[in-house]
Amino acid sequence: MRVLEIADALLADEAVWDRSPIRTDDPVNGRYTLYSALATACHEVTGRYLHRHPALEAVRAEIEDRVPGRRWKHRLAEFNAEASFEDVKAVLTSAIAANVA
């Protein structure tokens, strides 16, 4: 849960969002992609990036719910590049809500 909350806070507003499809654990020029926000949060909470961390899996599941049947090579990165900022925030919000229930 904490990973999702931190990632959501890192993507506080559109000014800090990078819509590119890059997969780097760090922000680029102070801006975060969905992937880098989750990776940064995972590092902060666990001390390392865990590709299959439950928080990242929860976001992947939310993306799958929003875009069912889509074949992704790198789901977090591709969704980030194709979605709006509102869509990115919505998958984080939904993942948080699903983990509260």
Q: What is the pLDDT of residues 3-38, one digit of tens each?
A: 999 999 999 999 999 999 989 888 888 999 999 999
- pLDDT, tens digit, for every residue of 51-74? 889 999 999 999 999 999 999 999
Q: Name the pTM for this structure.
A: 0.93
Q: How many CA atoms lie within 13 A of 86 on its CB side?
A: 0
Coil, helix or strand for 60?
Answer: helix
Q: What is the domain count for the chain?
A: 1
Instruction: State which residues form the domain around 43.
Output: 2-100
Q: How far apart are the first and last CA of the chain?
A: 11
40-68 burial, b at 16+ Cβ within 10 Å, e below that, comes to bbbbebeeeebeebebbebbbebbeeebe
